[in-house]
Amino acid sequence: MRRADPPRVLYSFPHTLGAPGIGTTAAAQVRGVLDVGVELTVVCTSSVADTHGADLRTTLTVFGHRVPHRVFLTPQRAYDHHDRVVASVLRRGEFDVVHTWPRGCLRTLSAARRLGVPSLREAPSPHTGHALRAARRAAAEWGLDLPADHSHAYDEGLIAREEAEYRAADHLLVPSAYARDTFVQAGHPADRLLGSRYGFDPARFRPEDRPVPAERPLSAVFLGRGEPNKGLHLALDAWFGSGAAGRGGRFVVAGALWAPYTDQLADRLAHPSVEVVGFVDDTPALLARSDVLLLPSYTEGSALVTYEAMGSGCVPLVSDATGAPVLDGVDGFVHPVGDGAALTAQLAALVEDPLLLARTRAAVLARRDELTWAAAGRRLAEVYRSVRDGEPAG
């Protein structure tokens, strides 16, 4: 039976809440569920986020200063310390649901099972084994091996640990249908996989008033790490194959470049129509002045940049492995992963028909409100309630 009282949730994040990357995602989740009345206890290593309304506790902060993970000699020891503290908080408190993040959660999940508290484990990426194998294959196509310190370097130990975390949780929070499918393929029951949503901050990512593309050249952007797994080579091939470059178009490549890979793309990156800008501080401005986002990734959980692009009125052209919230042919275009010819044809259609681009952009903006972090917070709060009350969450 559905209860009226708000769920009491223990939210565990073994990093700095509000820091760039997943710290921003976690902070947005926290704010989103607080705004709809969830009673939240947040345990993180430290915080630079606004958590007003939450019971905030930190595990790696001394006298207001962040204790770096290296003090524990290895990052995993720091995660284990965090996990022990959270498990203790769980045992001493009264919670309806516990929501954990990777690496620092096994003890907490075990404690939740013993106490009968429903547990969730965030899965911000596809199944780890799937993601690492996809990244390894993408690099191998270029005769490259990912370095050991790369976030997607193949690591059997990491896969085993992540698999143990998957199995220890009652449910996994997956942010896209694509991510969900990778877990089903790995043998995880579909009824343990709960759909969540990510989002964008509408105060930061806003559309610009722009003339229709017929009155100016097309502007495209690639925003992400320049590495095989992100498909930059496919984006470049589509750019030249679509005819946009020959019509005065501009393609901005933003993000850190992996030299062993991008050295092989040097001629394409040096073309006058391509501007390589590296890391960009003001991504909202970059997306707002771009007509299309090219992101032909080989594997993503649910790429935040696709939400941010749509919030900025930038039409996404993405692979079906990006986990993007795109309605294909309505507010963006989706191509099969690795299919550069399909991506080229989609971009060419927009180059040839500016009204198609204008209609697609209008559809993007029509969905803007449903893609915000506030909408994601409402969805997550509904998951909490459903899990607490033993009802299907979908």
Q: What distance in Å separates the CA atoms of residue 282 and residue 292, rounded to the nearest whole number?
A: 17
235 found inside a domain = yes
The values of phi and psi at residue 66, to 5°, are: -75, 130
Could you read off the pLDDT of 226-275 as tens digits, one per residue? 999 999 999 999 999 999 999 999 999 999 999 999 999 999 999 999 99
Residue 380 sits in the same domain as residue 274: no
Residue 383 sits in the same domain as residue 367: no
Predicted confidence at residue 3, as pLDDT, reads: 85
The values of phi and psi at residue 63, to 5°, are: 50, 40
Tokens of 267: 């001629």
Q: Are the C-beta atoms of 33 and 40 separated by less than 8 Å?
A: yes
Residue 184 sits in the same domain as residue 37: yes
Q: What distance in Å separates the CA atoms of residue 30 and residue 68, rounded to the nearest whole number?
A: 23
206 found inside a domain = no
Place of tokens 């559309």: 207
Tokens of 381: 């709060």
The range of the structural domain enclosing residue 66 comes to: 8-199+373-389
2 found inside a domain = no
207 found inside a domain = no
Q: What distance in Å separates the CA atoms of residue 390 and residue 384, rounded to the nearest whole number?
A: 10
Residue 361 sits in the same domain as residue 385: no
Q: Are the C-beta atoms of 180 and 162 separated by less than 8 Å?
A: no
Q: What distance in Å separates the CA atoms of residue 29 and residue 380, rounded to the nearest whole number?
A: 8
Residue 311 sits in the same domain as residue 334: yes
239 found inside a domain = yes
Predicted confidence at residue 71, as pLDDT, reads: 73
Q: Are the C-beta atoms of 104 and 118 separated by less than 8 Å?
A: no
205 found inside a domain = no
* Distance from the first to the final alpha carbon of the chain: 17
Residue 157 sits in the same domain as residue 277: no
What does each of the 394 residues of the chain score in pLDDT, given as a tens digit? 678 899 999 999 999 999 999 999 999 999 999 999 999 999 999 999 999 899 999 998 765 667 776 777 688 899 999 999 999 999 999 999 999 999 999 999 999 999 999 999 999 999 999 999 999 999 999 999 999 888 889 999 999 999 999 999 999 999 999 999 999 999 999 999 999 999 999 999 999 987 666 677 999 999 999 999 999 999 999 999 999 999 999 999 999 999 999 999 999 999 999 999 999 999 999 999 999 999 999 999 999 999 999 999 999 999 999 999 999 999 999 999 999 999 999 999 999 999 999 999 999 999 999 999 999 999 999 999 999 999 876 5
118 found inside a domain = yes
Residue 360 sits in the same domain as residue 385: no
At CB < 8 A and 24+ separation, what contacts does 110-115 make?
Answer: 110/168, 111/87, 112/170, 113/168, 113/170, 115/90, 115/91
236 found inside a domain = yes
Residue 151 sits in the same domain as residue 249: no
Residue 351 sits in the same domain as residue 379: no
Residue 218 sits in the same domain as residue 193: no
Tokens of 129: 């084994």
Residue 364 sits in the same domain as residue 378: no
Residue 131 sits in the same domain as residue 151: yes
Place of tokens 């030299």: 259
The domain tally of the chain equals 2
* pTM score: 0.94
CATH of the domain at 131: 3.40.50.2000
Q: What distance in Å separates the CA atoms of residue 223 and residue 225, rounded to the nearest whole number?
A: 7
